[in-house]
Amino acid sequence: MKQLKAASLITAIKTPYTTAGEVDIATYDFLVQAQIDAGVDGIVVGGTTGEGHLLSWEEHLILIAHSVHKFSDKLLIIGNTGSNNTSEAIKATKNGFAAGMDATLQINPYYGRTSTAGVIEHLTRTLDIGPAFIYNVPGRTGQDLTPDIIETLAKHENFIGVKECAGNERIAHYEKQGIACWSGNDDESHDGRHQYGSHGVISVTSNIVPRLMRKLMDNENIELNSQLQSLMQWLFCEPNPIAINTTLMMTGAVSTNFRLPYKALSKEQRQQGYELLSALNNDERVGDSLSLLDDDDFNYCV
């Protein structure tokens, strides 16, 4: 638990695909190694950015097990084994811990929303299994995990903390009570860390610039944070992970294969990103090239 709470930079790692639409393990290993080389503390496997919702449970759990086998001596492995179905969340979380993951990331039931009492019971059942980060992202779930919920869950011995997307004021409120928080908003994460007392960030942006995100978490750097704001905001110009997928394809880090329903950013959007990425040094980006790409370069799989 102490090591988990000490992790200030955790990357929500992307899942890459082959032209046939299968999980591309070799490229996945390249992406994870880039995170290790940059000093990232841990990865979330199969999160929103890793498209866990587009993976079968078999694929999802194999990827967690592979990550543990290959990389657990180098960084923390956090498996996104949450679900809006309590039974599925319990089963996946048990299997994830059986595979050796260090912790789980758990989300409140989405779409088929439940009451506050139901949310607490759902998350308590998964906390009973092992160490867990609770993920509050109202923009996706449609339901805010308000302080009365989190403060109740924080009493559980397996509660690590919160990945919080409701802003730095909320984070400061929790941290003052000793409830650990990681920012879920990259553009707020520097100030969250150095001005509001967060433990760090669970980041999308670190997929492409892990060394720069490491700098932002290690020391207050107002100038660098300001420089990265446009890139961070552009990475969310469409619902995540559309932009980070497109970005890693533009830098040659992954093949140009999407799983539907995700499609590449438009050429106009890619041009904006190209200009932002061009302003970075080559060794600051993951991938060894940079190109705009044409619309017909992208392959769409199901």
Catalytic residue ranges: 135, 163
Q: What are phi and psi of 23, to 5 degrees?
A: -65, 130
Q: Which amino acid is at 248?
A: L
Q: Can you give the three-state secondary structure of the chain, one letter per residue?
A: CHHHHHCCEEEECCCCECCCCCECHHHHHHHHHHHHHCCCCEEEECCCCCCHHHCCHHHHHHHHHHHHHHHCCCCEEEEECCCCCHHHHHHHHHHHHHCCCCEEEEECCCCCCCCHHHHHHHHHHHHCCCCEEEEECHHHHCCCCCHHHHHHHCCCCCEEEEEECCCHHHHHHHHCCCCCEEECCHHHHHHHHHCCCCCEEEECHHHCCHHHHHHHHHCCCHHHHHHHHHHHHHCCCCCCCHHHHHHHHHCCCCCCEEECCCCCCCHHHHHHHHHHHHCCCHHHCCCCCCCCCCHHHCEEEC
CB atoms within 10 A of CB 221: 16
